[in-house]
Chains A and B, each alone.
Chain A
Protein backbone atom coordinates (compact mmCIF):
# COMPACT_ATOMS: atom_id res chain seq x y z
CA UNK A 1 0.00 0.00 0.00
CA UNK A 2 2.91 2.36 0.75
CA UNK A 3 4.27 2.16 -2.78
CA UNK A 4 0.81 2.89 -4.14
CA UNK A 5 0.51 5.95 -1.88
CA UNK A 6 3.89 7.27 -3.05
CA UNK A 7 2.99 6.84 -6.72
CA UNK A 8 -0.42 8.34 -6.08
CA UNK A 9 1.29 11.43 -4.63
CA UNK A 10 3.77 11.74 -7.51
CA UNK A 11 1.06 11.45 -10.16
CA UNK A 12 -1.28 13.75 -8.25
CA UNK A 13 1.41 16.45 -8.02
CA UNK A 14 2.12 16.20 -11.74
CA UNK A 15 -1.61 16.42 -12.43
CA UNK A 16 -2.09 19.50 -10.26
CA UNK A 17 0.91 21.24 -11.85
CA UNK A 18 -0.39 20.48 -15.36
CA UNK A 19 -3.91 21.49 -14.42
CA UNK A 20 -2.61 24.89 -13.28
CA UNK A 21 -0.72 25.26 -16.56
CA UNK A 22 -3.89 24.43 -18.53
CA UNK A 23 -5.49 27.65 -17.28
CA UNK A 24 -2.37 29.86 -17.05
CA UNK A 25 -0.62 29.12 -20.34
CA UNK A 26 -0.86 31.78 -23.02
CA UNK A 27 -1.19 29.37 -25.92
CA UNK A 28 -4.48 27.59 -26.53
CA UNK A 29 -2.78 24.50 -28.00
CA UNK A 30 -0.41 24.19 -25.06
CA UNK A 31 -3.46 24.24 -22.81
CA UNK A 32 -4.90 21.27 -24.72
CA UNK A 33 -1.59 19.40 -24.47
CA UNK A 34 -1.34 20.02 -20.71
CA UNK A 35 -4.87 18.64 -20.49
CA UNK A 36 -3.51 15.43 -22.03
CA UNK A 37 -1.09 15.12 -19.09
CA UNK A 38 -3.93 15.66 -16.60
CA UNK A 39 -6.14 13.04 -18.26
CA UNK A 40 -3.25 10.57 -18.53
CA UNK A 41 -2.76 11.13 -14.78
CA UNK A 42 -6.41 10.29 -14.16
CA UNK A 43 -5.96 7.06 -16.15
CA UNK A 44 -2.85 6.24 -14.13
CA UNK A 45 -4.72 6.82 -10.86
CA UNK A 46 -7.49 4.47 -11.99
CA UNK A 47 -4.92 1.79 -12.81
CA UNK A 48 -3.17 2.25 -9.44
CA UNK A 49 -6.46 1.75 -7.61
CA UNK A 50 -7.06 -1.47 -9.54
CA UNK A 51 -9.76 -0.15 -11.89
CA UNK A 52 -7.88 -1.21 -14.98
CA UNK A 53 -10.79 -1.28 -17.41
CA UNK A 54 -11.84 2.24 -16.41
CA UNK A 55 -8.26 3.46 -16.77
CA UNK A 56 -7.87 2.06 -20.27
CA UNK A 57 -11.26 3.49 -21.25
CA UNK A 58 -10.06 6.86 -19.97
CA UNK A 59 -7.08 6.70 -22.35
CA UNK A 60 -9.14 5.52 -25.32
CA UNK A 61 -12.02 7.96 -24.92
CA UNK A 62 -10.44 11.10 -23.49
CA UNK A 63 -6.90 11.09 -24.87
CA UNK A 64 -7.54 9.10 -28.04
CA UNK A 65 -10.79 10.77 -29.06
CA UNK A 66 -11.84 13.89 -27.13
CA UNK A 67 -8.43 15.58 -27.02
CA UNK A 68 -7.73 14.64 -30.63
CA UNK A 69 -11.00 16.34 -31.61
CA UNK A 70 -10.00 19.39 -29.51
CA UNK A 71 -6.63 19.59 -31.26
CA UNK A 72 -8.28 19.01 -34.62
CA UNK A 73 -10.77 21.81 -34.03
CA UNK A 74 -8.16 24.25 -32.71
CA UNK A 75 -5.82 23.58 -35.62
CA UNK A 76 -8.57 23.98 -38.21
CA UNK A 77 -9.61 27.36 -36.82
CA UNK A 78 -6.94 29.24 -34.84
CA UNK A 79 -3.60 27.68 -34.19
CA UNK A 80 -1.04 30.42 -33.79
CA UNK A 81 2.39 29.54 -32.45
CA UNK A 82 3.69 31.52 -29.49
CA UNK A 83 1.93 33.68 -26.92
CA UNK A 84 -1.57 34.82 -27.75
CA UNK A 85 -3.43 37.81 -26.40
CA UNK A 86 -7.00 37.50 -25.13
CA UNK A 87 -6.68 33.82 -24.22
CA UNK A 88 -8.00 34.63 -20.75
CA UNK A 89 -11.69 35.44 -20.82
CA UNK A 90 -13.08 38.52 -19.07
CA UNK A 91 -15.09 36.37 -16.71
CA UNK A 92 -12.10 34.43 -15.39
CA UNK A 93 -12.54 35.78 -11.85
CA UNK A 94 -16.07 34.46 -11.70
CA UNK A 95 -14.83 31.15 -13.06
CA UNK A 96 -12.14 31.12 -10.36
CA UNK A 97 -14.72 31.72 -7.64
CA UNK A 98 -16.93 28.93 -9.01
CA UNK A 99 -13.95 26.57 -9.08
CA UNK A 100 -13.06 27.42 -5.48
CA UNK A 101 -16.64 26.87 -4.35
CA UNK A 102 -16.77 23.53 -6.17
CA UNK A 103 -13.50 22.53 -4.50
CA UNK A 104 -14.91 23.49 -1.10
CA UNK A 105 -18.11 21.50 -1.64
CA UNK A 106 -16.22 18.40 -2.83
CA UNK A 107 -13.73 18.58 0.03
CA UNK A 108 -16.55 18.99 2.54
CA UNK A 109 -18.46 16.07 1.03
CA UNK A 110 -15.42 13.77 1.15
CA UNK A 111 -14.43 14.74 4.69
CA UNK A 112 -18.01 14.57 5.91
CA UNK A 113 -18.61 11.16 4.35
CA UNK A 114 -15.45 9.39 5.45
CA UNK A 115 -14.04 11.58 8.24
CA UNK A 116 -11.27 9.58 9.93
CA UNK A 117 -12.63 6.20 9.00
CA UNK A 118 -10.14 4.12 7.04
CA UNK A 119 -11.39 3.04 3.64
CA UNK A 120 -11.98 -0.59 2.87
CA UNK A 121 -8.75 -1.77 1.22
CA UNK A 122 -10.46 -4.67 -0.54
CA UNK A 123 -11.35 -2.53 -3.53
CA UNK A 124 -7.64 -2.01 -4.18
CA UNK A 125 -6.38 -5.43 -3.20
CA UNK A 126 -8.90 -7.23 -5.40
CA UNK A 127 -8.67 -5.48 -8.75
CA UNK A 128 -11.91 -4.83 -10.55
CA UNK A 129 -12.16 -7.10 -13.55
CA UNK A 130 -13.86 -6.50 -16.87
CA UNK A 131 -16.45 -9.14 -15.91
CA UNK A 132 -17.37 -7.11 -12.83
CA UNK A 133 -17.80 -3.96 -14.90
CA UNK A 134 -19.95 -5.67 -17.52
CA UNK A 135 -22.02 -7.48 -14.88
CA UNK A 136 -22.69 -4.17 -13.15
CA UNK A 137 -23.63 -2.37 -16.38
CA UNK A 138 -25.74 -5.08 -18.00
CA UNK A 139 -27.37 -6.41 -14.84
CA UNK A 140 -27.68 -3.92 -11.99
CA UNK A 141 -27.67 -0.72 -14.04
CA UNK A 142 -29.23 -1.94 -17.29
CA UNK A 143 -32.03 0.63 -17.41
CA UNK A 144 -29.83 3.68 -16.65
CA UNK A 145 -27.35 2.37 -19.22
CA UNK A 146 -30.02 2.06 -21.91
CA UNK A 147 -31.41 5.49 -20.99
CA UNK A 148 -27.96 7.06 -21.40
CA UNK A 149 -27.44 5.30 -24.74
CA UNK A 150 -30.80 6.56 -25.95
CA UNK A 151 -29.95 10.10 -24.84
CA UNK A 152 -26.58 9.98 -26.62
CA UNK A 153 -28.23 8.66 -29.78
CA UNK A 154 -30.72 11.53 -29.68
CA UNK A 155 -27.86 14.01 -29.19
CA UNK A 156 -25.98 12.45 -32.11
CA UNK A 157 -28.96 12.70 -34.46
CA UNK A 158 -29.58 16.25 -33.25
CA UNK A 159 -25.97 17.20 -34.00
CA UNK A 160 -26.24 15.79 -37.52
CA UNK A 161 -29.51 17.65 -38.13
CA UNK A 162 -28.03 20.94 -36.89
CA UNK A 163 -24.86 20.47 -38.93
CA UNK A 164 -26.70 19.62 -42.16
CA UNK A 165 -29.02 22.64 -42.09
CA UNK A 166 -27.42 25.01 -44.58
Chain B
Protein backbone atom coordinates (compact mmCIF):
# COMPACT_ATOMS: atom_id res chain seq x y z
CA UNK B 1 0.00 0.00 0.00
CA UNK B 2 2.36 2.71 -1.11
CA UNK B 3 1.35 6.34 -1.17
CA UNK B 4 1.20 6.32 -4.98
CA UNK B 5 -1.31 3.46 -5.07
CA UNK B 6 -3.40 4.97 -2.27
CA UNK B 7 -3.63 8.31 -4.02
CA UNK B 8 -5.30 6.73 -7.04
CA UNK B 9 -8.05 5.02 -5.05
CA UNK B 10 -11.30 6.59 -3.98
CA UNK B 11 -11.88 7.30 -0.31
CA UNK B 12 -14.26 4.37 0.14
CA UNK B 13 -11.84 1.97 -1.55
CA UNK B 14 -9.06 3.09 0.78
CA UNK B 15 -11.46 2.69 3.70
CA UNK B 16 -12.29 -0.89 2.72
CA UNK B 17 -8.59 -1.67 2.41
CA UNK B 18 -7.99 -0.20 5.85
CA UNK B 19 -10.81 -2.26 7.40
CA UNK B 20 -9.44 -5.46 5.85
CA UNK B 21 -5.98 -4.49 7.04
CA UNK B 22 -7.37 -3.95 10.54
CA UNK B 23 -8.94 -7.43 10.56
CA UNK B 24 -5.58 -8.90 9.55
CA UNK B 25 -3.75 -6.75 12.11
CA UNK B 26 -6.01 -7.97 14.91
CA UNK B 27 -6.32 -11.65 14.02
CA UNK B 28 -2.85 -12.53 12.69
CA UNK B 29 -0.83 -11.38 15.74
CA UNK B 30 -3.31 -12.92 18.17
CA UNK B 31 -3.15 -16.24 16.31
CA UNK B 32 0.63 -16.05 16.32
CA UNK B 33 0.65 -15.24 20.03
CA UNK B 34 -1.56 -18.21 20.88
CA UNK B 35 0.40 -20.71 18.77
CA UNK B 36 3.91 -19.44 19.42
CA UNK B 37 3.65 -18.63 23.12
CA UNK B 38 0.59 -20.30 24.62
CA UNK B 39 1.03 -23.62 22.81
CA UNK B 40 4.75 -23.94 22.14
CA UNK B 41 6.72 -21.71 24.51
CA UNK B 42 4.63 -22.76 27.51
CA UNK B 43 5.13 -26.42 26.58
CA UNK B 44 8.88 -26.10 26.16
CA UNK B 45 9.16 -24.31 29.50
CA UNK B 46 7.34 -27.26 31.06
CA UNK B 47 9.50 -29.87 29.27
CA UNK B 48 6.80 -31.14 26.93
CA UNK B 49 6.15 -30.85 23.21
CA UNK B 50 2.75 -29.20 23.06
CA UNK B 51 0.40 -29.85 20.12
CA UNK B 52 2.18 -31.96 17.48
CA UNK B 53 -0.58 -33.76 15.55
CA UNK B 54 -2.43 -31.08 13.57
CA UNK B 55 -0.08 -30.07 10.76
CA UNK B 56 3.71 -29.89 10.97
CA UNK B 57 4.69 -29.21 14.62
CA UNK B 58 1.01 -28.70 15.42
CA UNK B 59 0.86 -25.48 13.41
CA UNK B 60 -2.73 -26.18 12.31
CA UNK B 61 -3.86 -26.67 15.91
CA UNK B 62 -5.44 -23.18 15.97
CA UNK B 63 -7.78 -24.05 13.09
CA UNK B 64 -8.78 -27.20 14.92
CA UNK B 65 -9.47 -25.20 18.09
CA UNK B 66 -11.56 -22.60 16.27
CA UNK B 67 -13.48 -25.37 14.51
CA UNK B 68 -14.14 -27.04 17.85
CA UNK B 69 -15.43 -23.82 19.44
CA UNK B 70 -17.69 -23.04 16.48
CA UNK B 71 -19.34 -26.48 16.71
CA UNK B 72 -20.14 -26.16 20.39
CA UNK B 73 -23.60 -25.24 21.58
CA UNK B 74 -24.20 -21.59 22.43
CA UNK B 75 -25.35 -22.11 26.02
CA UNK B 76 -27.25 -19.61 28.13
CA UNK B 77 -27.53 -20.40 31.84
CA UNK B 78 -31.00 -20.57 33.39
CA UNK B 79 -31.85 -17.23 34.93
CA UNK B 80 -29.18 -15.37 32.99
CA UNK B 81 -29.90 -11.95 31.56
CA UNK B 82 -29.76 -13.15 27.95
CA UNK B 83 -29.29 -9.80 26.21
CA UNK B 84 -26.50 -8.56 28.46
CA UNK B 85 -24.94 -12.04 28.46
CA UNK B 86 -24.89 -12.07 24.66
CA UNK B 87 -23.52 -8.53 24.27
CA UNK B 88 -20.70 -8.76 26.82
CA UNK B 89 -18.10 -10.54 24.63
CA UNK B 90 -18.92 -8.21 21.73
CA UNK B 91 -18.18 -5.14 23.87
CA UNK B 92 -14.81 -6.62 24.89
CA UNK B 93 -13.81 -7.54 21.32
CA UNK B 94 -15.03 -4.20 19.92
CA UNK B 95 -12.90 -2.25 22.38
CA UNK B 96 -9.87 -4.30 21.29
CA UNK B 97 -10.53 -3.69 17.60
CA UNK B 98 -10.90 0.04 18.15
CA UNK B 99 -7.62 0.11 20.09
CA UNK B 100 -5.78 -1.21 17.03
CA UNK B 101 -7.12 1.57 14.80
CA UNK B 102 -4.64 4.16 16.07
CA UNK B 103 -1.52 1.95 15.85
CA UNK B 104 0.65 2.98 12.88
CA UNK B 105 2.46 0.24 10.94
CA UNK B 106 4.17 2.46 8.36
CA UNK B 107 4.14 5.99 6.89
CA UNK B 108 0.86 5.24 5.07
CA UNK B 109 -0.01 1.89 6.65
CA UNK B 110 -2.30 3.22 9.37
CA UNK B 111 -6.00 2.70 9.97
CA UNK B 112 -6.93 6.03 11.52
CA UNK B 113 -4.43 8.83 11.94
CA UNK B 114 -5.76 10.98 14.75
CA UNK B 115 -3.74 13.59 16.62
CA UNK B 116 -4.68 12.28 20.08
CA UNK B 117 -3.85 8.67 19.13
CA UNK B 118 -2.33 7.31 22.34
CA UNK B 119 -4.92 9.03 24.54
CA UNK B 120 -7.67 7.54 22.35
CA UNK B 121 -6.20 4.03 22.64
CA UNK B 122 -6.01 4.20 26.43
CA UNK B 123 -9.55 5.59 26.69
CA UNK B 124 -10.96 2.84 24.47
CA UNK B 125 -9.07 0.11 26.32
CA UNK B 126 -10.91 1.10 29.51
CA UNK B 127 -14.27 0.26 27.88
CA UNK B 128 -13.56 -3.48 28.02
CA UNK B 129 -14.09 -3.35 31.81
CA UNK B 130 -17.78 -2.74 31.13
CA UNK B 131 -17.95 -5.86 28.97
CA UNK B 132 -16.31 -7.92 31.71
CA UNK B 133 -18.67 -6.55 34.38
CA UNK B 134 -21.63 -7.29 32.07
CA UNK B 135 -20.43 -10.88 31.61
CA UNK B 136 -19.93 -11.39 35.34
CA UNK B 137 -23.31 -10.01 36.28
CA UNK B 138 -25.44 -11.51 33.51
CA UNK B 139 -24.21 -15.07 34.14
CA UNK B 140 -26.40 -15.35 37.27
CA UNK B 141 -23.56 -17.14 39.02
CA UNK B 142 -21.82 -15.96 42.15
CA UNK B 143 -18.37 -17.06 40.98
CA UNK B 144 -18.85 -15.12 37.77
CA UNK B 145 -19.97 -12.04 39.68
CA UNK B 146 -16.98 -12.29 42.02
CA UNK B 147 -14.67 -12.63 39.04
CA UNK B 148 -16.25 -9.63 37.33
CA UNK B 149 -15.89 -7.48 40.45
CA UNK B 150 -12.28 -8.55 41.04
CA UNK B 151 -11.55 -7.83 37.42
CA UNK B 152 -13.09 -4.35 37.58
CA UNK B 153 -11.19 -3.52 40.79
CA UNK B 154 -7.94 -4.66 39.23
CA UNK B 155 -8.44 -2.90 35.91
CA UNK B 156 -9.35 0.39 37.61
CA UNK B 157 -6.28 0.15 39.86
CA UNK B 158 -3.82 -0.58 37.05
CA UNK B 159 -5.37 1.83 34.54
CA UNK B 160 -3.78 4.71 36.46
CA UNK B 161 -0.12 3.58 36.37
CA UNK B 162 -0.64 2.62 32.71
CA UNK B 163 -1.80 6.12 31.75
CA UNK B 164 0.80 7.81 34.00
CA UNK B 165 3.62 5.71 32.50
CA UNK B 166 2.54 6.81 29.02
CA UNK B 167 2.56 10.46 30.13
CA UNK B 168 6.35 10.39 30.51
CA UNK B 169 6.70 9.42 26.85
CA UNK B 170 4.14 12.03 25.78
CA UNK B 171 6.05 14.74 27.65
CA UNK B 172 9.35 13.70 26.11
CA UNK B 173 7.97 13.41 22.60
CA UNK B 174 5.84 16.54 22.96
CA UNK B 175 2.92 14.96 21.11
CA UNK B 176 0.10 12.41 21.59
CA UNK B 177 0.14 11.53 17.89
CA UNK B 178 1.41 7.96 17.44
CA UNK B 179 3.21 8.85 14.20
CA UNK B 180 4.64 11.90 15.95
CA UNK B 181 6.00 9.69 18.74
CA UNK B 182 7.64 7.39 16.16
CA UNK B 183 9.16 10.43 14.43
CA UNK B 184 10.34 11.92 17.73
CA UNK B 185 12.18 8.70 18.61
CA UNK B 186 13.68 8.48 15.13
CA UNK B 187 14.98 12.05 15.18
CA UNK B 188 16.00 12.07 18.83
CA UNK B 189 19.53 11.63 20.07
CA UNK B 190 21.10 10.77 23.41
CA UNK B 191 24.03 13.05 24.30
CA UNK B 192 24.60 13.77 20.65
CA UNK B 193 24.60 10.13 19.56
CA UNK B 194 21.73 9.69 17.15
CA UNK B 195 22.45 6.92 14.66
CA UNK B 196 19.66 4.73 16.03
CA UNK B 197 17.59 7.69 17.16
CA UNK B 198 16.36 7.64 20.73
CA UNK B 199 14.07 4.70 21.49
CA UNK B 200 12.36 5.76 24.70
CA UNK B 201 13.08 2.46 26.41
CA UNK B 202 16.48 4.03 27.19
CA UNK B 203 15.42 7.42 28.54
CA UNK B 204 12.03 6.29 29.83
CA UNK B 205 13.07 2.95 31.29
CA UNK B 206 11.10 3.51 34.51
CA UNK B 207 8.03 4.31 32.41
CA UNK B 208 8.62 1.18 30.35
CA UNK B 209 8.87 -1.03 33.45
CA UNK B 210 5.70 0.46 34.96
CA UNK B 211 3.91 0.15 31.62
CA UNK B 212 4.87 -3.52 31.28
CA UNK B 213 3.67 -4.38 34.81
CA UNK B 214 0.42 -2.43 34.43
CA UNK B 215 -0.11 -4.02 31.01
CA UNK B 216 0.32 -7.48 32.51
CA UNK B 217 -2.39 -6.59 35.04
CA UNK B 218 -4.69 -5.04 32.42
CA UNK B 219 -4.46 -8.26 30.42
CA UNK B 220 -5.21 -10.26 33.62
CA UNK B 221 -2.28 -12.52 32.79
CA UNK B 222 -0.66 -14.32 35.72
CA UNK B 223 0.66 -13.21 38.22
CA UNK B 224 -2.31 -10.83 38.03
CA UNK B 225 -5.00 -13.41 37.19
CA UNK B 226 -7.11 -13.06 40.35
CA UNK B 227 -10.30 -12.47 38.27
CA UNK B 228 -10.11 -15.91 36.65
CA UNK B 229 -8.32 -17.75 39.47
CA UNK B 230 -9.36 -21.29 38.63
CA UNK B 231 -8.83 -22.75 42.12
CA UNK B 232 -11.19 -20.20 43.70
CA UNK B 233 -13.61 -18.98 41.04
CA UNK B 234 -13.76 -21.81 38.44
CA UNK B 235 -13.02 -19.35 35.62
CA UNK B 236 -14.39 -16.07 36.97
CA UNK B 237 -16.56 -14.16 34.53
CA UNK B 238 -15.83 -16.76 31.81
CA UNK B 239 -17.37 -19.63 33.76
CA UNK B 240 -20.73 -19.78 31.97
CA UNK B 241 -19.52 -19.01 28.46
CA UNK B 242 -19.24 -21.67 25.80
CA UNK B 243 -18.75 -22.04 22.08
CA UNK B 244 -18.56 -18.93 19.93
CA UNK B 245 -18.93 -16.44 22.78
CA UNK B 246 -16.08 -18.03 24.72
CA UNK B 247 -14.04 -17.89 21.52
CA UNK B 248 -14.76 -14.14 21.29
CA UNK B 249 -13.47 -13.62 24.84
CA UNK B 250 -10.45 -15.77 24.03
CA UNK B 251 -9.64 -13.81 20.86
CA UNK B 252 -10.26 -10.61 22.81
CA UNK B 253 -7.74 -11.60 25.46
CA UNK B 254 -4.88 -12.31 23.05
CA UNK B 255 -5.80 -9.56 20.60
CA UNK B 256 -5.65 -7.12 23.52
CA UNK B 257 -2.23 -8.54 24.38
CA UNK B 258 -1.25 -7.77 20.77
CA UNK B 259 -2.76 -4.28 20.92
CA UNK B 260 -0.99 -3.33 24.14
CA UNK B 261 2.31 -4.73 22.89
CA UNK B 262 1.90 -2.80 19.63
CA UNK B 263 1.34 0.37 21.65
CA UNK B 264 4.37 -0.44 23.82
CA UNK B 265 6.41 -1.02 20.65
CA UNK B 266 5.42 2.40 19.33
CA UNK B 267 5.96 4.20 22.64
CA UNK B 268 9.20 2.63 23.83
CA UNK B 269 10.89 0.70 20.99
CA UNK B 270 10.65 3.23 18.18
CA UNK B 271 7.65 1.83 16.30
CA UNK B 272 7.90 0.80 12.66
CA UNK B 273 10.78 3.10 11.74
CA UNK B 274 14.15 1.65 10.64
CA UNK B 275 17.35 3.70 10.89
CA UNK B 276 19.03 4.25 7.52
CA UNK B 277 15.80 4.12 5.48
CA UNK B 278 13.92 7.37 4.88
CA UNK B 279 10.99 8.12 7.17
CA UNK B 280 8.52 8.48 4.30
CA UNK B 281 10.04 5.87 1.99
CA UNK B 282 7.39 3.74 0.26
CA UNK B 283 9.27 0.55 1.13
CA UNK B 284 8.55 1.22 4.81
CA UNK B 285 4.88 0.43 4.18
CA UNK B 286 6.01 -3.15 3.55
CA UNK B 287 8.90 -3.33 6.02
CA UNK B 288 7.12 -1.35 8.73
CA UNK B 289 4.48 -3.99 9.55
CA UNK B 290 7.24 -6.65 9.72
CA UNK B 291 9.31 -4.49 12.08
CA UNK B 292 6.23 -3.80 14.19
CA UNK B 293 5.28 -7.49 14.33
CA UNK B 294 8.80 -8.40 15.45
CA UNK B 295 8.75 -5.82 18.23
CA UNK B 296 5.23 -6.85 19.26
CA UNK B 297 6.28 -10.48 19.55
CA UNK B 298 9.33 -9.44 21.58
CA UNK B 299 7.09 -7.66 24.08
CA UNK B 300 4.52 -10.46 24.20
CA UNK B 301 7.43 -12.82 24.83
CA UNK B 302 8.25 -10.81 27.96
CA UNK B 303 4.58 -10.84 29.05
CA UNK B 304 4.37 -14.61 28.59
CA UNK B 305 7.72 -15.16 30.29
CA UNK B 306 6.43 -13.35 33.40
CA UNK B 307 3.19 -15.27 33.06
CA UNK B 308 4.83 -18.68 33.15
CA UNK B 309 7.32 -17.69 35.87
CA UNK B 310 5.56 -15.97 38.75
CA UNK B 311 2.89 -17.35 41.09
CA UNK B 312 -0.42 -15.53 41.50
CA UNK B 313 -0.63 -12.45 43.74
CA UNK B 314 -3.13 -12.20 46.58
CA UNK B 315 -5.93 -9.66 46.13
CA UNK B 316 -4.62 -7.26 48.81
CA UNK B 317 -1.03 -7.55 47.54
CA UNK B 318 -2.31 -6.77 44.07
CA UNK B 319 -4.10 -3.58 45.14
CA UNK B 320 -1.25 -2.43 47.41
CA UNK B 321 1.25 -2.97 44.60
CA UNK B 322 -0.71 -0.67 42.28
CA UNK B 323 -1.68 2.10 44.70
CA UNK B 324 1.38 2.25 46.99
CA UNK B 325 4.21 1.46 44.58
CA UNK B 326 3.39 1.79 40.88
CA UNK B 327 1.41 5.04 41.04
CA UNK B 328 3.94 6.96 43.19
CA UNK B 329 6.82 5.66 41.02
CA UNK B 330 5.09 6.79 37.83
CA UNK B 331 4.24 10.19 39.35
CA UNK B 332 7.91 10.71 40.25
CA UNK B 333 8.82 9.62 36.73
CA UNK B 334 6.51 12.28 35.27
CA UNK B 335 7.96 14.99 37.53
CA UNK B 336 11.56 14.05 36.67
CA UNK B 337 10.76 13.84 32.95
CA UNK B 338 9.10 17.26 33.00
CA UNK B 339 12.07 18.84 34.82
CA UNK B 340 14.60 17.26 32.45
CA UNK B 341 12.50 18.26 29.44
CA UNK B 342 12.66 21.90 30.53
CA UNK B 343 16.35 21.65 31.55
CA UNK B 344 17.62 20.22 28.24
Q: Which residues of A contact B (CB under 8 A)?
A: 27, 29-30, 33, 36, 52-53, 56-57, 59-60, 63-65, 67-69, 71-72, 75-76, 79, 81-82, 129-130
Contact in complex: A65, B126 (CB < 8 Å): yes
A53, A59, A82, most chain B CB atoms within 10 A: A59
Give the distance to chain A from B89, nearest Cβ to Cβ, in Å: 15
Contact in complex: A53, B149 (CB < 8 Å): no
Contact in complex: B159, A64 (CB < 8 Å): yes
Chain B, 111-167, CB within 8 A of any chain A CB: 114-116, 119-120, 122-124, 126-127, 129-130, 133-134, 136-138, 140, 145, 148-149, 152-153, 156, 159
Residues of chain B within 8 A (CB-CB) of A72 are 133, 149, 152-153, 156
Contact in complex: B133, A59 (CB < 8 Å): no
Contact in complex: A68, B123 (CB < 8 Å): no
Residues of chain B within 8 A (CB-CB) of A79 are 137, 145
Q: Chain B interface: which size bin?
A: 20 to 34
From B22-30, B52-60, B78-86, B279-287, give the one contacting chain A: B78-86
Cα distance A29–B137 in the bound complex, in angstroms: 9
A-B Cβ contacts below 8 A, count: 75
Cα distance A44–B122 in the bound complex, in angstroms: 17
Can you sample 26 A-B contacts with CB below 8 Å? A29-B81, A29-B84, A33-B84, A52-B115, A59-B123, A60-B123, A60-B126, A63-B126, A64-B159, A65-B126, A68-B126, A68-B156, A69-B156, A71-B130, A71-B133, A71-B152, A72-B149, A72-B152, A72-B156, A75-B133, A75-B149, A76-B149, A79-B145, A81-B79, A129-B115, A130-B115
Cα distance A60–B159 in the bound complex, in angstroms: 10
Cα distance A113–B41 in the bound complex, in angstroms: 66
Known A-B contacts A60-B123, A64-B159, A79-B145; the reply to A36 vs B116 at CB < 8 A is no
Main SS class of interface, B: helix
Cα distance A130–B115 in the bound complex, in angstroms: 8
Contact in complex: A63, B116 (CB < 8 Å): no
Cα distance A129–B180 in the bound complex, in angstroms: 14
Residues of chain A within 8 A (CB-CB) of B129 are 64, 68
The yes or no answer to B176 lying at the interface (CB within 8 A) is yes
Contact in complex: A65, B130 (CB < 8 Å): no
Give the distance to chain B from A131, nearest Cβ to Cβ, in Å: 9
Known A-B contacts A56-B119, A60-B122, A60-B123; the reply to A82 vs B81 at CB < 8 A is yes
Cα distance A124–B213 in the bound complex, in angstroms: 40
Residues of chain A within 8 A (CB-CB) of B81 are 27, 29, 81-82
